[in-house]
Amino acid sequence: MTQVIVCCGAGGTGKTTTAAAIGVKLAIQGQRVAVLTIDPAKRLADALGLGSLDNDPKSVSLTELNARGTLHALMLDRKATFDAMVIAHSPNPDVAERLLANAYYQAVSTRLTGLHEYMATEKLQQLVESGLWDVVVLDTPPTQHAIDFFHAPERVGRLFEHGVLATLMTPARGLVGVATRRAVGLLERLAGESVLHDIAEFFRLISGLSEIIRSRNMQVHALLRSDRTRFYQVTAPALDACEEVEGFASLLREQGMRLEGLLVNRVTPVPQFTAPLVRERLPEAPLGVPDEEWDTMANALLALIPRAEARAQQHERAIVALKRSAHTEVWKLPELPAGVRTIDTLAGLGPHLPPLL
Amino acid sequence: MSGLLDRRFVVVTGKGGVGRSTAAVTLALAAGKAGKRTCVVELYGNRRIAQWFGLGDRSYKACSIAPNVDTMSLTAMDAMDDFGQRKLKLDALVRMVLNSRVTHAFVDAIPGLHDLVQLGKLENMLLEPLPGDAHYDLVIVDAPATGHGLTLLAAPQAMSELTKIGPFHELASIIARLLDDPKKSAVVLVTLPEELPVNEGIELALGLGDNQKLLHSVIMNQARPPSLPPVPAWDHIHALLSTAPDPDLRELLRVAEPFWRRQLSQEQALHRLKTLAELLNRQIPIAQLPKVEHGELSPDDLHILAEQLLPQVTT
Ligand SMILES: Nc1ncnc2c1ncn2[C@@H]1O[C@H](COP(=O)(O)OP(=O)(O)OP(=O)(O)O)[C@@H](O)[C@H]1O
Ligand SMILES: Nc1ncnc2c1ncn2[C@@H]1O[C@H](COP(=O)(O)OP(=O)(O)OP(=O)(O)O)[C@@H](O)[C@H]1O
Ligand SMILES: [Mg+2]
Ligand SMILES: [Mg+2]
């Protein structure tokens, strides 16, 4: 059965990078892996040796790494995913066609906040159902707060599922309460009749899919809470991330989800010198560098040591506090000096990641 | 960046985590120091700025954080209620309908409506303060992270496409008018001195569509002074240290490399950002906010950052 690993955390902490690094590590270990990334990270596509990523899995070449497994990467296209869902599950082609042409559908499929998150879970499910993968690694969208990732799909799912609005918008369905009638009247006044008409049509059509949507929502809800799914929270080594990390960890637990660990990313390692490094221990100027320039450079290099030490200590303190906040295992991922440029750099994070298997 | 503080409405935008909140509040403090009555507003109930100033829950109303400077944390529901009261002149009873579960479901389902009503509230604060309301010269909004979904500034357009008549449509037109005037409104793009964030920032700027003309300037946050002299001999030094028999010299290289790379990528980032002016065919000033090295940002740090930003936004 396909396992799922979810990388979540606040914006810019390294979710996409760690998702990719986890994918590489698992592929090296012999797994058939799909990494579903959420943002159009051109650089990541480059690092993976792919020109671009799209809604279908593309194979990543791992020959240099002697990988025993395979790695595929794809990038969520929420409109394409929504379209595919509509086409696959509409009761007949006519319903699908009219839905895709509906003005409100178009607004929703390109613009509704939360739909991205919802479609990420839909795509996840499609990947899991395909049976092609041992592990699917899910990157999550940059949300203001990591918890939005879980609220958004459920909010949107509920919207489509029981279509409060479907009943609301369907005239003459009998038992429409006074309050509802008032609300409809007010909304008509606010948004105009034609919008209400488009919305009503949308919900009428999508109600033909509501059984399927409901059952898929239940499946993904269960999948994310089953022991097939592990969550890793990615964070920066910063004290002020504690509150967010703690809130998110307890939310996951409340939701019955399995938080496997905290990935503290971009940590400065503590400098390790066998003896104090003084100017005299540095060699002569390298070939091609004038003595004077080398002298300035050598002093500047030495001046970096206390700064690196201070930063490393600051990170250590933050990690202690973060560990306390998250009540879970902590993994330190070092700052990659050259950034994330190639698949080798991603593989280089492997030894710092949890064992995963 | 001259003229920025003479605008009425400044939207601080950027990708998640780049420092939008930091830049927004710093800009507000700088504006306050320049004598502008300023309110810096967080949307969707975010309270990062409020927390920095220890405001807790009080921030849902405007609270002073410095002379001339208030902050406020807006929510979509408050803005909606305000809209019902002010624009629709609904009495309390009808506003209860507006706040009903059914209406909420509807409001959630309209792409961009949450953004739009919050923008509407800001427009009111600026241009139509009621008797007893504070008067602001400048409202600075800490926009939600752009990533996916509707960006804040695209909300009026989206609403105009969806609704052709009615108060929501009118609200969209009012906001569109405010945003259509580069003398009143401006967008400030925040980014980091690294390759990917800069590229994403440039993509974001180019994706602003009709609002591109509002892009006033860029704030490169977390800028660092150079750590190493700018000798073009890093490769020689790298070769020398990486093959040194003394392990401490190899460790020195490991310690130094991130500093060197960061310095290099900051130079390249700045260079890339300058191309934005060419792409848009007009000047796009780039201000720098230095990185505060000791970790946590305190109100004192923010004031110091504001002092450093002020000359950059007034000259
Ligand atoms: N360990 C690391 N060492 C050096 N650079 C890193 C490391 N991890 C991530 N980065 C860089 O940090 C930036 C942000 O990383 P990434 O895109 O993975 O974050 P994210 O959490 O997915 O961001 P978003 O919330 O915008 O989706 C990228 O430029 C990436 O190359
Ligand atoms: N110039 C700076 N020096 C030091 N730390 C900074 C600086 N700017 C931002 N930070 C830190 O970086 C983190 C992110 O900054 P901030 O909250 O302003 O970003 P944001 O873009 O608003 O993030 P979000 O997407 O979460 O709203 C904060 O912890 C902040 O303290
Ligand atoms: Mg990402
Ligand atoms: Mg913020």
User: Which residue is closest to B146 within chain A, CA to CA?
Assistant: A142
pLDDT at B210: 83
CA geometry: angle at B18 spanning B13 and B22, to 5°? 75
Is residue A121 a contact partner of residue A129, using CB atoms and an 8 Å limit? no
Is residue A205 a contact partner of residue A98, using CB atoms and an 8 Å limit? yes
Look at residue A175 and tell me whether its pLDDT is greater than 50: no
pLDDT at A10: 83
B120 vs B109: CA distance, rounded Å:
18
What pairing do the DSSP bridges indicate for beta strands A3-9 and B185-191?
A: unpaired
Look at residue B189 and tell me whether its pLDDT is greater than 70: yes
- The Cα-based distances of B135 to B49, B122, B125, B196 in angstroms read 21, 12, 7, 40
pLDDT digits (tens, 9 = 90+) for A190-214: 877 778 788 888 888 888 888 888 8
Buried b (16+ CB within 10 A) or exposed e, A280-298: eebeebbeebeeeebeebb
What's the rounded mean pLDDT across residues A4-24? 91
Mean pLDDT of chain A: 87
Per DSSP, the residues of B163-176 read -SSSHHHHHHHHHH
pLDDT at A174: 46
pLDDT at B163: 84
Look at residue A81 and tell me whether its pLDDT is greater than 60: yes
Return the best residue to mutate from A13, A15, A16, A17 for the ligand 1 pocket (most ligand atoms within 8 A of CB). Answer: A17
- Residue B226's SS3 state is coil
Look at residue B286 and tell me whether its pLDDT is greater than 90: yes
Smallest Cβ–Cβ distance between B148 and the set A116, A192, A288 belongs to A116
Query: Whole-prediction pTM value?
Result: 0.83
Residue B116's Cα: distance from chain center in Å? Answer: 17
Is residue B229 a contact partner of residue B197, using CB atoms and an 8 Å limit? no
Minimum mean pLDDT among B158-167, B228-237, B265-274: which range? B228-237
Rg, C-alpha atoms of chain B: 22
Minimum mean pLDDT among B2-16, B103-117, B232-246, B280-294: which range? B103-117
Minimum mean pLDDT among A342-351, B94-103, B169-178: which range? B94-103
Minimum mean pLDDT among A141-150, A334-343, B56-65, B282-291: which range? A141-150
* AA identity, residue A328: T
Mean pLDDT of chain B: 89
Q: Look up residue B64 and give its two tokens.
A: 């002073």
Q: Is the beta carbon of B71 within 6 A of some atom in ligand 2?
A: no
- Residue A333's SS3 state is strand
Q: Look up residue A131 and give its two tokens.
A: 């049976």
Look at residue A171 and tell me whether its pLDDT is greater than 80: no
Instruction: Tell me which residue has its CA closest to atom 27 in ligand 1.
Output: A142
Domain extent listing, chain A: 3-271+317-352, 279-316
What's the rounded mean pLDDT across residues A123-139? 95
Within 8 A of B232 by CB-CB distance, chain A residues are none
What's the rounded mean pLDDT across residues A236-247? 90
Instruction: Tell me which residue has its CA closest to atom 4 in ligand 2.
Output: B292
B197 vs A13: CA distance, rounded Å:
12
pLDDT digits (tens, 9 = 90+) for A262-294: 999 999 999 999 999 999 999 988 888 888 888
Highest mean pLDDT among A42-51, A203-212, A246-255: A246-255
| pLDDT bucket at A163, cuts 50 / 70 / 90 | low
pLDDT at B58: 74
What's the rounded mean pLDDT across residues B88-116? 77
Q: CB pairs below 8 Å between A and B: how many?
A: 208
Buried b (16+ CB within 10 A) or exposed e, A144-176: bebbbbbebbbbbbbbbbebbbbbbbeeeeeee
Instruction: Tell me which residue has its CA closest to atom 9 in ligand 2.
Output: B19
Buried b (16+ CB within 10 A) or exposed e, A18-54: bbbbbbbbbbbbebbbbbbbbbbbebbbebbebeebe
| pLDDT bucket at B149, cuts 50 / 70 / 90 | very low
Say what percent of chain B tops pLDDT 90. Answer: 55
Q: Where are the alpha helices (DSSP H) in chain A?
A: 15-28, 42-47, 78-89, 93-101, 103-111, 115-130, 148-161, 164-169, 178-191, 193-206, 210-225, 242-254, 291-326, 343-348
| pLDDT bucket at A162, cuts 50 / 70 / 90 | low
* AA identity, residue A308: A
Domains of chain B: 4-226+282-314 (3.40.50.300)
Max CA-CA distance within chain A?
Answer: 92
Look at residue B237 and tell me whether its pLDDT is greater than 80: yes
**CA of B17, closest CA in chain A: separation in Å?**
5
What's the rounded mean pLDDT across residues B209-229? 92
pLDDT at B270: 95
What's the rounded mean pLDDT across residues A183-188? 76
* AA identity, residue B96: M
Q: Where are the alpha helices (DSSP H) in chain B?
A: 20-33, 48-52, 76-86, 92-98, 101-109, 113-127, 155-162, 167-179, 195-206, 234-242, 247-280, 299-314
**Class of A3-271+317-352 in CATH:** alpha beta
| pLDDT bucket at B231, cuts 50 / 70 / 90 | low
Name the residue with higher pLDDT: B173 or A155. B173
| pLDDT bucket at B22, cuts 50 / 70 / 90 | very high
In the block, tokens 């409100």 appear at A104
The span from the first CA to the last CA of chain B, in angstroms, equals: 6
CB contact under 8 A, A111 and B106: no
Q: Is the beta carbon of A53 within 6 A of some atom in ligand 2?
A: no
Look at residue B244 and tell me whether its pLDDT is greater than 80: yes
- Report which of A112, A283, A11 is spatially closest to residue B105, judged by C-alpha positions: A112
- The Cα-based distances of B228 to A303, A304, A312 in angstroms read 9, 9, 19
